[in-house]
A and B are shown apart, each in its own frame.
Chain A
Amino acid sequence: MLILGFDSATSACSAALCHDGDTLAHRFEVMAQGQAEFLMGMINEVMEEAGKGYGDLDLLAVTTGPGSFTGLRIGLAAARGLALAGDLPCLGITTFEAVAAGVPETEWDGATLLVAIESKREDIYVQLFAAGLEPLSAPQAVLPEALATAMDCPSITEERVLVVGDAGQRSIASLKGAGLEVALSNALGTPDAGTLAALAARRWSPNSPNERPRPLYLKAPDAKMPKDGGRLRP
């Protein structure tokens, strides 16, 4: 099964082509912005390097967020275009799952995993996982100082907590302040297309519903309703 994975949800850009568990070609670059310029080029490069055409693909995998709104749109619009033109199924994987899947089992070692993703605003995006990528909380946006109380989950208070993600540093102080045993993972803080494609290979079944991947923003658009629709007087 030939899977093309790609990500531009946070401050990186990556593409990978995987065949039955082997990575045939892979590109990853730290990139705070500008993925619109580079993503399709990277995708074409991994296809060419592996000597594959789009017609050879069986599945697409893309991160659905949360992350930078712009980054999500870049990846998901590319995914929708590729899926439409290639008549391909596309599996959406959240940024939380993609980052969590990058943490090696040895490091995980029974801890509760907190994935903390940067929103580039005051709050951070967080979700808790147990081993095997089993979610222990719903994805949510919280202020770092409210982290320990916001995570309404017994395991975060009872267990050792391993933190991963590009907002990991911002989360740790708050959790330590709440008296928890916390460690910062050495794993990559952003999604990587290689991990994404591997995860997609494990998850996909031909019976999976063929839905278009949808963004997980975790935040409503920042817009205020004008008073009386902007009307000056009755």
Chain B
Amino acid sequence: MIVLGIETSCDETAAAVVNADRRILANEVFSQIDEHTPFGGVVPEVAARAHLELIDGVIETTIEKAGITLDDLDAVAATGGPGLIGGVLVGTMTAKAIAAVKGCPFIAVNHLEGHALTARLTDDVTFPYLLLLVSGGHCQLLVVKGVGNYKRLGTTIDDALGEAFDKTAKMLGLGFPGGPAVERIATAGDGQRFSLPRPLMGRPGADFSFSGLKTKVRQTIEGLPPGDLQEQDVADLCASFQVAAGDVLADRVGNAMAIFQDLHPDTDQPVLVVAGGVAANQVLRHRLQSLSSEQGFHFIAPPPNLCTDNGAMIAWAGIERLRLGDTDAMNFRPRPRWPLDPDAPPALRGNGAAGAKA
């Protein structure tokens, strides 16, 4: 069983070929960072145009590198949402067209499910497991009970953690994307120097909030002595931000672990899987790793290139769905919002918070 996966929901035009033996035959990611950098963030219309320009070339290269032809495919999977709709449209329409010509099924994959199932591709994890999905667009804790079967334990009531990283970097002039820059510069900083808030820490539940942390970063920058920003101040602030983020993550994930064990007391070896772009952050990864060993959870984080957006996770989710005979019709409509757990109650809201995005 061989599936092509296409991912175009944000600023990476990506495609991959994966087989049912959990082998990635090719995995191409074309990052549009250069096109978005001047704007200091991803511009949806710029992204959508770039996806259309790149999509067929990226697929062609992927197929070539996989050493197969399009005739060898058993299905074509593409991200059907949630995400920036312009890119999702490009990916799904291209996938539908290829599937139509080759007479194979089309599968519209939930981008979040792609992240959620990656640990089964990399580590063959069995259901159920606890998942922390943490990226620029999402921050949620879920129980992965099966393919298409999720229970959301908590989500962010305002910003995603990756968004807070990016905004911190932006305010400090560290460029875009900001997460890797903050992590790099924080290594030279003192994480205890600035006192930053830990929103929701110590409160019950597994929801997140990061906008207060972001605001305090802004106020701290504004309150630094006049003149040019000093390198050490920037490093200390990055480090302090990262420590605060780690404290919040550990607290919320700790609560989620307890909830998971209440829900699934018979699980012999509970597993925490971390996925999404922020899972590429080594400091946070180590923090969650320690927490896991303290709490008796087996910790799994896919390699960084499978944590950030990629086509392999979409191809793999496609394989999982295809094995269950769960494919989509040509009239699938791309979904800008597509929660994994549609029955989850809305996240608790702060003052003026917009609520969860997915």
- Cα A13 to Cα B172 in complex, Å, equals 47
Within residues 71 to 128 of chain A, which ones have a CB less than 8 A from any CB in chain B?
Answer: 73-74, 76-86
Q: Flag whether A222 is at the interface (Cβ < 8 A).
A: yes
Once the chains bind, are A225 and B98 in contact (CB under 8 Å)?
no
Once the chains bind, are A229 and B170 in contact (CB under 8 Å)?
yes
Beyond A37-B333, A232-B171, A232-B172, whether A223 also contacts B43 by CB under 8 A is: yes
Once the chains bind, are B331 and A38 in contact (CB under 8 Å)?
yes
Beyond A77-B94, A82-B97, whether A231 also contacts B46 by CB under 8 A is: no
Contacts of B1 in A (CB 8 A): none
A81, A221, A229: most-surrounded residue (chain B CB, <10 A) = A81
Once the chains bind, are B97 and A85 in contact (CB under 8 Å)?
yes
Within residues 27 to 47 of chain A, which ones have a CB less than 8 A from any CB in chain B?
Answer: 34, 36-41, 43-44
Q: Report the interface size for chain B: residues with CB under 8 A from the other chain.
A: 47
Once the chains bind, are B330 and A228 in contact (CB under 8 Å)?
no
Once the chains bind, are B45 and A232 in contact (CB under 8 Å)?
no
Q: Flag whether A54 is at the interface (Cβ < 8 A).
A: yes
Count A-B pairs with CB separation below 8 Å.
132
Q: Flag whether A186 is at the interface (Cβ < 8 A).
A: no
Instruction: Classify the interface of chain A: helix, strand, loop or mixed.
Output: helix
- Cα A232 to Cα B222 in complex, Å, equals 8
Q: Which residue of A lies closest to B97 (CB)?
A: A81
Please pick, from B52, B60, B101, the residue contacting A86 in the complex, using a CB distance under 8 A.
Answer: B101
Q: Flag whether A70 is at the interface (Cβ < 8 A).
A: yes
Within residues 100 to 126 of chain B, which ones have a CB less than 8 A from any CB in chain A?
Answer: 100-102
The proximity string for A residues 206-234 relative to B, scoring 1 for CB distances below 8 Å and 0 otherwise, is: 00000010110100011111101111111
Beyond A73-B52, A228-B173, whether A81 also contacts B98 by CB under 8 A is: yes
Contacts of B228 in A (CB 8 A): 233-234
Q: Report the interface size for chain A: residues with CB under 8 A from the other chain.
A: 42
Contacts of A39 in B (CB 8 A): 93
The proximity string for B residues 58-102 relative to A, scoring 1 for CB distances below 8 Å and 0 otherwise, is: 011000000000100000000000000110011111111110111
Q: Which residue of B lies closest to A55 (CB)?
A: B101
29 A-B pairs whose Cβ atoms sit less than 8 Å apart in the complex: A34-B333, A36-B334, A38-B331, A40-B100, A41-B330, A69-B45, A69-B48, A73-B86, A77-B52, A78-B94, A78-B97, A81-B56, A81-B93, A81-B94, A81-B95, A84-B60, A84-B98, A85-B98, A85-B101, A217-B49, A222-B45, A226-B40, A228-B173, A229-B175, A231-B170, A231-B171, A231-B172, A232-B221, A233-B221
Residues of B at the A interface (CB closer than 8 Å) are 38-41, 43, 45-46, 48-49, 52-53, 55-56, 59-60, 70, 85-86, 89-98, 100-102, 170-173, 175-176, 218, 221-222, 228-229, 330-334
9 cross-chain pairs, A with B, having the tightest CB-CB distances, nearest first:
A81-B97, A231-B173, A85-B101, A77-B93, A221-B45, A81-B94, A230-B170, A223-B43, A80-B56
